[in-house]
Amino acid sequence: MRVALLTAAALAIGAPAAAQEVSYGPVFEDFGPVADVPDADFAIPEGASFHVAFDVSRAAQDGQLNRGFESAARLINMHARAGVAPMENRAAVVVHGAAVFDLLTDAAWAARDRGEANPSGAAVRAMIDQGVRFIVCGQSAAGQGVAKSELLPGVELALSAMTAHALLQQQGYTVNPF
| pLDDT over threshold 70, residue 6 | no
Say if residues 119 and 65 touch (Cβ distance below 8 Å): yes
Number of other CB atoms surrounding residue 146 within 10 Å: 20
Say if residues 121 and 152 touch (Cβ distance below 8 Å): yes
What CATH number is given to the structural domain containing 31?
A: 3.40.1260.10
Whether pTM exceeds 0.85: yes
Is 19 domain-assigned?
yes
Question: pLDDT (tens digit, 9 = 90+) per residue, 143-156?
Answer: 999 999 999 999 99
pLDDT at 177: 81
Is 110 domain-assigned?
yes
Distance CA 75, CA 57 (A): 18
Is 97 domain-assigned?
yes
- The share of the chain scoring above pLDDT 90, in percent, equals 80
Is 44 domain-assigned?
no
| pLDDT over threshold 70, residue 12 | no
Is 18 domain-assigned?
yes
Distance CA 137, CA 153 (A): 16
**What domain range includes position 153?**
2-37+49-175
The count of structural domains within the chain is: 1
Say if residues 74 and 31 touch (Cβ distance below 8 Å): no
What confidence tier does 178 reach under pLDDT thresholds 50, 70, 90?
Answer: confident
Q: What is the 3-state secondary structure of 5-73?
A: HHHHHHHHHHHHHHHCCEECCCCCCCCCCEECCCCCCCCCCCCCCEEEEEEECCCCCCCCCCHHHHHHH
Distance CA 76, CA 92 (A): 11
**Mean pLDDT over the full length of the chain:** 89
Question: pLDDT (tens digit, 9 = 90+) per residue, 94-131?
Answer: 999 999 999 999 999 999 999 999 999 999 999 999 99
Question: pLDDT (tens digit, 9 = 90+) per residue, 34-83?
Answer: 999 989 999 999 889 999 999 999 999 999 999 999 999 999 999 999 99
| pLDDT over threshold 60, residue 5 | no
